[in-house]
Amino acid sequence: MRGFDFEAIGLRSDDAESLDFFPPHYRIGRTKYIIVTGGVMSGVGKGVFTASLAHLLQFLGFSVSVIKIDGYLNLDAGTLNPYRHGETFVLDDGTECDLDLGTYERFLDTTLNRNNYMTSGKIYSRILAKERRGEYLGRDVQIVPHVTGEIKYLIREKAKEGPYDMVLVEIGGTVGDIENLHFIEAARELMNDEGRDNIMFAHVTVVPWSDTTGEQKSKPTQHSVKKLLEMGIQPDIIVCRSKDPLQRKVREKISLHCNVPIDHVISSPDVESIYTLPFLFQQQRLAEITVHRLHLNMPYPAKEDAQIPFEPYVQHVQRHNPTLTVAVTGKYSSMRDSYISITNALQHTEPFERVRINLRFIDTTEYDDPTVPLHKCLDGVHGIIVPGGYGLRGTEGMIRFIQYAREQQLPYLGLCLGFQLAAIEFARHVCGLEKATSTEFDPHTPEPVISLLPEQETIRDLGGTQRLGGHEVVLLPGTRVHHIYGKDVIRERFRHRYELNNLYKDTLEKAGLLFCGMTPDHRIMQILDYPAHPFFIATQFHPEWTSRPLRPHPLFREFIRAAKRHQEQ
């Protein structure tokens, strides 16, 4: 049997072990790299630390970008269950990704793209495609150097895209995870390729409190650092997550056993607002340590008149503002990270509206039963949000909450599925269409108020096939939403497969509902409003994804204002 004829396609087999994984015209030293790893357990705040450090460096005047790496074999986060992995965040270019990308965008006030996100699935997909094309010159394709080389190549591609002064790379999970081995190895190789002065390692680990001995325990940190050392990496700074600020003796012990200077042991205690973390790290000279370690000159702050990063939040935590209670009624409410962008968008309004928002997460599944009363769980609530979701479970409960908000004049904000269910609720209880529903829940319904987008009807795959990313929305002049935005055309991010069936549009509008935002061709309805209500607005898009700490989304801000008015009544 004849083998592959490489010479026939202009390729030559090569026995050299050293392979080139540098993009064209890449220059070593132009970009510095900060690799963030985690130890002991996941979910302790690597993403928030990474975003905080990036924000501090940007605040000083450096150009910065961030990459998130996930070890799973999914191509992206589009098909992940929110119960298992939290919210799927969507970038403007339509990339479905990890929720940490949302944290990065908020802290850097920027728009990221698909090159800021990497999974093992993405890496292997690229490698296998190259192997089929014969691009490896007859080599046996291996984890080292091919997989690790592809990882390094994509990291460098992002650095060159700016080009950026610094690129922070967060490796998800922990150093003990088998699915992270190739990423840790790629980071070690990157250090060797780029030079030790051009790369820094930050290790984020938990320091638990022992009720038995009444002290913070450093052993988990010591063991995770030793595991990292076994893989060829000595961390430059160790970030210690704990309930309370790190005790001096614990800091000294970690410094001694983990081979880092004591001022490189950074305390990261629980805080009221994550937006105060950059200030907390600034007080520990984190940015200065980073800049010095990477042999850079410390520039002047980007804003000479504002030396405190996210100053409104630092001041806000010191105030005693009134509390407002908002209910988030969704089907994934038992997993708070499922709605983390909504939580952040509401927090963005707090310092500007001088309120403290008490979030009450209500799982709507138990309220699918119409005999279960709503009033107890809504006691003291000043506004209701119905978030996105998929599938039938919990939707009848959501419809009941929407009906309650409409009839009791309680401020209501619907997001994606909250738009679809608001239309269904209105059709049932105002227009008399008792069997109104979505074809997602009942494909044979006689009243398909919500149905598939035309371009979705022939699609069978789930991943990456919805209407995704940023799209323009035209606002109807003179409407409440037009006044809130102050614009004729806006750009918002979408993630949906179903839309309002326009055969029912006139019926709903004659009964008082108003569709005041739509696609530029007026084909797809994107925003609904009920003008007879103090605040009853729902969007087919996700406004929470574009809210920023210093620029709260106008819909969320107006929703909170309406909730304040309701509280005062």
Residue among 24, 15, 91 nearest 464 (CA): 91
Same domain, 141 and 113: yes
**295 labelled catalytic:** no
Q: Does one domain contain both 337 and 298? A: no
Strand segments (E) across 270-389? 323-330, 356-363, 383-386
Distances (CA, A) of 279 to 66, 276, 283, 309, 312: 20, 5, 6, 6, 11
Q: 8 lies in a domain?
A: no
Residue 154 lies in a domain: yes
- pLDDT tens digit string along 483-508? 999 999 999 999 998 999 999 999 99
The 10 Å Cβ neighbour count of residue 432 is 10
Same domain, 256 and 381: no
Report the chain's terminal Cα–Cα distance, integer Å: 85
Mean pLDDT over 326-341 rounds to 90
Catalytic residue among 416, 425, 431, 558: 416
Task: Please report, for the domain that includes residue 230, its CATH number.
Answer: 3.40.50.300
Instruction: Please give the pLDDT value at position 82.
Output: 80
| Side-chain half-sphere CA neighbours of 370 within 13 A | 3
- pLDDT for 213 equals 86
- Parallel, antiparallel, or unpaired: how do β-strands 436-438 and 489-496 relate? unpaired
The total of other beta-carbon atoms located within 10 Å of residue 373's CB is 10
Considering the domain architecture, whether residues 301 and 352 belong to the same structural domain is answered as no
Smallest Cα–Cα separation from 387: which of 354, 352, 346, 348?
346
473 and 539 share one domain: yes
pLDDT of residue 527: 98
Task: Give the chain's domain count.
Answer: 2
Task: Read off the pLDDT of residues 126-177 as tens digits, 9 standing for 90 and up.
Answer: 999 999 998 888 888 999 999 999 999 999 999 999 999 999 999 998 998 8
Q: Whole-angstrom Cα distance, residue 66 to residue 117?
A: 9
Q: Name the catalytic one among 542, 553, 558, 566.
A: 542
Give the span between the Cα atoms of 29 and 12, in whole angstroms: 31
What are 502-544's pLDDT values in tens digits? 999 999 999 999 999 999 999 999 999 999 999 999 999 999 9
**Residue 109 in contact with residue 88, Cβ under 8 Å?**
no
Q: What is the pLDDT of residues 267-302, one digit of tens each?
A: 999 999 999 999 999 999 999 999 999 999 877 654
pLDDT of residue 16: 56
Instruction: Say if residue 288 is in the same domain as residue 356.
Output: no
416 has catalytic annotation: yes
Please say which residue of 266, 290, 312 terminates a domain: 312
In a domain, 14, yes or no: no
Residues 301 and 166 in one domain: yes
Please write the tens of the pLDDT for every residue from 219-273: 999 999 999 999 999 999 999 999 999 999 999 999 999 999 999 999 999 999 9
Domain boundary among 312, 335, 363: 312
Q: Is 16 contained in some domain?
A: no
CA pair distance 501, 452, nearest whole angstrom: 8
Q: With a cut of 80, say whether residue 204 has pLDDT above it.
A: yes
Measure Cα distances from 219 to 216, 258, 262, 406, 470 in Å: 10, 10, 16, 54, 46
Range of the domain at 442: 319-568
Q: Are residues 304 and 329 in the same domain?
A: no
Position 167 scores a pLDDT of 98
SS3 261: coil
302 and 403 co-located in one domain: no
pLDDT reading at 2 higher than 50: no
DSSP line for 152-212: HHHHHHHHHHTT-SEEEEEE-S-TT-GGGHHHHHHHHHHHHHH-GGGEEEEEEEE--EETT
Mean pLDDT of 299-319: 76
Residues 200 and 336 reside in one and the same domain: no
pTM of the model: 0.92
Residue 4 lies in a domain: no
Contacts of 23 (CB under 8 A, 6+ apart): 153, 156, 157, 160
**20 domain residue, yes or no:** no
Total H helices, total E strands in the chain: 17, 23
Could you say which of 544, 553, 558, 566 is catalytic? 544
SS3 102: helix
Q: Is residue 213 part of a domain?
A: yes
Same domain for 399 and 485, yes or no, is: yes
Closest CA to 264 of 254, 274, 276, 272: 254
User: Where a domain ends, among 264, 281, 312?
Assistant: 312
DSSP string, 527-569: EEE-TTSSSEEEESS-GGGG-BTTB--HHHHHHHHHHHHHHH-
Residue type, 183: F
Check: CB of residue 32 under 8 Å from CB of residue 166: yes
Q: What is the CATH number of the domain that holds 490?
A: 3.40.50.880
Evaluate whether residue 115 is within a structural domain: yes
Query: How do residues 60-116 score in pLDDT, each as one tens digit?
Result: 999 999 999 999 999 988 888 887 778 999 999 999 999 999 999 999 999 999 999
User: String of b and e for 215-227 (b: at least 16 CB within 10 Å)?
Assistant: ebbbeebbebbeb
pLDDT digits 0-9 by tens, 413-447: 999 999 999 999 999 999 999 999 999 999 999 99
Looking at 165-179, 330-344, 461-475, which range is the least confident one?
Answer: 461-475
Q: What is the pLDDT of residue 42?
A: 80
The answer to whether residues 162 and 96 belong to one domain is: yes
In this prediction, residue 461 has a pLDDT band, given cuts at 50, 70 and 90, of low
pLDDT at 6 over 50: no
Contact (CB, 8 A) for 564 and 361? no
Which regions of 14-165 does DSSP assign to beta strands (E)? 32-39, 64-70, 89-90, 96-97, 117-119
Residue 158 near residue 170 (C-beta atoms within 8 A): no
Check if 353 is active-site: no
